[in-house]
Amino acid sequence: MPTRQDALRDLLARNGKDADLADALIRIDNVVQNWRRQMHKRELGHRATRALGLDLDLAQIDVLFAIATPWLSSEPNADDETMVSTVAERLYIDPSRASRLVAEMVNSGYARRAVSQRDARRTILELTPAGEAVIEAVRGYKWLLLGEFFSAWPAEEILAFVKLFERYSSWMNSSEEAEEKYADEIATLARSIERAKAEVASGSKSG
């Protein structure tokens, strides 16, 4: 009986992709799915809070990172003053939830409100020394563990991994072109869903 992996191989083969590429993509997708599950569980974050003895949950720590100056100057809004709306934008959450979480951090002494240097009518957010200490400790925890893991890799493998990982991470940027290229095949996939739904509906009625 054909497996789901066989179906994926057939789909790619019909569109000019060989079996070796299909198998490689399946392996990549399995790794990404496992990584996504780990990220969803926030395993590293939970371990960090325990190891560092933090009295904060991960959502609160996320807010502190959103208030902090972005790690990279290339990040969106890196040079902007941080307001509640900025926190909501950086965390992709509702402004009302961002406002509540920010208030918790202010009341707990990890953040404070200040007057903007650019517009005195505007209230901005800053980390207190306690908030800064949390950010640096969590970052330090992650870098120590990452450093230990990658220290066992040869330098040339690390360099190759970084280049390839950066290249891989940009694949979504060209996905619209691929979607246009395979419009007919994607339409066929969409119709298969409709047929399956129709069969289910028909079976329910006959039952």
113 secondary structure, DSSP code: E
pTM value surpassing 0.95: no
HSE, CB side, 13 Å, CA atoms: give it for residue 179: 7
Mean pLDDT of the residues in the chain: 89
Which amino acid belongs to residue 161? F
pLDDT at 204 over 80: no
Given a contact cutoff of 8 angstroms between Cβ atoms, the answer to whether 23 and 8 are in contact is no
Given a contact cutoff of 8 angstroms between Cβ atoms, the answer to whether 63 and 87 are in contact is yes
Domains along the sequence of the chain with CATH: 1-41 (no CATH), 56-128 (1.10.10.10)
User: pLDDT tens, 66-99?
Assistant: 999 766 545 555 557 899 999 999 999 999 999 9
User: pLDDT tens, 2-35?
Assistant: 788 888 888 888 888 888 888 888 899 899 898 8
HSE, CB side, 13 Å, CA atoms: give it for residue 109: 4
